[in-house]
Amino acid sequence: MKGMNTISTLVRENIQQLSGGRIASTVEIDGEPIRLIASARRQKTISASVRDGMIELSVPSTMRDHDIVTSARGLIAKIKARQRANQRFQSNPELYARAVYLARVWLNAEVQPNSVVWSDRQTTRWGSCTTTTKAIRISTMLRGMPQWVIDGVLIHELAHLKYAGHGQEFQEFTRRYPKMAEADAFLDGVAFAQHGRKGELFPNAYD
């Protein structure tokens, strides 16, 4: 990964003065956005937690950037491992197993989700994917639809674990699933039948 072997000066953004003489800022460590809290009261120790979905590091204000990054990597790895374990536990077992199967059969096992769940909060999208945590959510509106249609949505969200956007490479990747076009057409028809036109309720049917 870029930046793993060489450590440059951390670029601090969104700098804020907090109580107790602490200074908060946002930095990037190995491509991961991190909230950094520098405190003059803290002497040598460095701690990590998750706040509002972002990893937060508390460090001494005198600590050098090189030492911050070196110490932070181990803490970040532990937090991510704990998040992955929690997500696997929270997954819907059957849906997760189906996603892993599809990734292996059609996507050459190039992607691997950490969690796959049914979500009744997905009311304007068929599915969504958080790439930072590899968490996939599938709308409960799909329940009762043909399995090959649900598989198409799973393939779409799995593909986001490799490609963030919906460009040509993404489209070619999803088309490895032989019924991808049919699944998209089926869902377009459902949206049209229920809401008059495709773009009214589902402006972006996937995330």
Q: How many residues does the chain have?
A: 207
Which tens digits make up the pLDDT trace of 52-102?
Answer: 668 899 999 999 999 999 888 888 888 878 776 665 556 789 999 999 999
CB 128 within 8 A of CB 135: no
For the full predicted model, state whether its pTM sits above 0.85.
no
Strands 13-17 and 32-39: unpaired
Is the Cβ–Cβ distance between 23 and 63 less than 8 Å?
A: no
Neighbouring CB atoms inside 10 A of 77's CB total 11
- Give tens-digit pLDDT for 171-205: 999 999 999 999 999 999 988 887 655 433 343 45
Query: What CATH class has 91-201?
Result: alpha beta
Q: Which phi and psi angles does 65 have, rounded to 5°?
A: -60, -40
List every span in the chain annotated with CATH 3.30.2010.10. Answer: 91-201
Does residue 49 sit in helix, strand or coil? strand
- The secondary structure element, H or E, covering residue 56 is strand 54-60
Give the integer Cα–Cα distance in Å for 101 and 19.
Answer: 51
